[in-house]
Amino acid sequence: MTAIRLLLVDDDPLVRAGLSFMMGGADDIEVVGEAGDGGEAEALVDRTRPDVVLMDIRMPTVDGITATELLRAREDAPQVVVLTTFHADEQVLRALRAGAAGFVLKDTPPAEILDAVRRVAAGDPVLSPAVTRQLMRHAAGGAAGTRRARARERIALLNDREREVAVAVGRGLANAEIAAELFMSVATVKTHVSHVLSRLGLNNRVQIALLAHDAGLLEEQAGGPDGH
C-alpha cells in the first residue's frame, strides 16, 4: 500500500515536532515536509507532492485561509485539513469555504488526527454531523440577505435529484445513508455528488453543505415542502 504523503504547516515548531513524531509512527503515513508559514506551502507542495496538508489557521505572514485558497485553486490540489483551537471559530468557517476538507482541533487525541488524515486522503470530509450542525448554526448569522440570494441562484443550477442529494450532504449524511434514504445505490449517490460539485464549481462535500445551508434548503426540509 502506498503511504499517504503529508505536509505539515504550522508556525509553532513544537506543534510541528509533535505532529511529525505522531505521524511518523504510522506505517501508512509519510511526512514529506514541514513549513512554518502559509507562504511556504505552495513551493513545498511543488517539491513534495503531498496528498494531504495539515494547515494551521493563524500564522503571522500568510495565514492558513489564504494558503488553503491558493492550494485548492491548483490543478493538482492536495486535500487540506485545518488545525484550530476552537470548535466553531469564524476563521474555520472561512477555511472550509476556501476548500478545506475539514478541521481538527489541536488537542484532538492522536488516533483521531491519524484517522482524519486517512479519511481525507480517501475523499471523506472530516466533519461529524454534530460538528457540521454547529458550523451551520455559526454560519447562519451571516447567511441572510445577499448570501442567501446568491446561494439560491447557484442551487437553481441543480436538477431535483441533485438538489435532494445536496440537502442530504448538508445534513451530514454519508453516502450509504443517502443511498438508503433516497432509494438509490451508493455508486449513484457518488455520481450525483460529483455532478453537484462540477455544476456548482465546489471543491468538496463540506462546501456543498455550507451552500445548502446558506440557500435555506435544510430549513425548508425541516418545515415541509413549503418551508412551513
Which residues are paired to 55 by β-bridges? 9, 82
Residue 38 DSSP class: G
From its phi and psi, is residue 146 left (phi > 0), alpha (psi between -120 and 50) or beta?
A: alpha
Q: Per-residue pLDDT tens, the chain, 228 aa: give them.
A: 689 999 999 999 999 999 999 888 899 999 999 999 999 999 999 999 999 999 999 898 999 999 999 999 888 899 999 988 766 567 777 888 888 888 888 888 888 889 889 988 987 777 655 556 666 666 556 556 677 888 899 999 999 999 999 999 888 788 889 999 999 999 999 999 999 999 998 888 888 988 888 888 877 665 544 444
- H/E stretch holding 117: helix 110-121
Q: What is the DSSP string of 68-104?
A: HHHHHTSTTPPEEEEEES-SS-HHHHHHHHTT--EEE
What are the distances in angstroms from CA 117 to CA 30, 96, 160?
11, 16, 33
Burial 15-52 (b: 16+ CB within 10 A, else e): ebeebeeebeebeebbbbbbbbbbbbbeebbeebebbb
Question: What pLDDT does residue 228 have?
Answer: 40
What local confidence, expressed as pLDDT, does residue 70 receive? 92
Give the pLDDT of residue 131. 59
pLDDT at 224: 46
What pLDDT shows up at residue 226? 43
Q: Are 48 and 5 in contact (CB under 8 A)?
A: yes
In Å, how far are 12, 19, 61, 131, 201 from 136, measured between CA atoms? 30, 29, 29, 9, 20
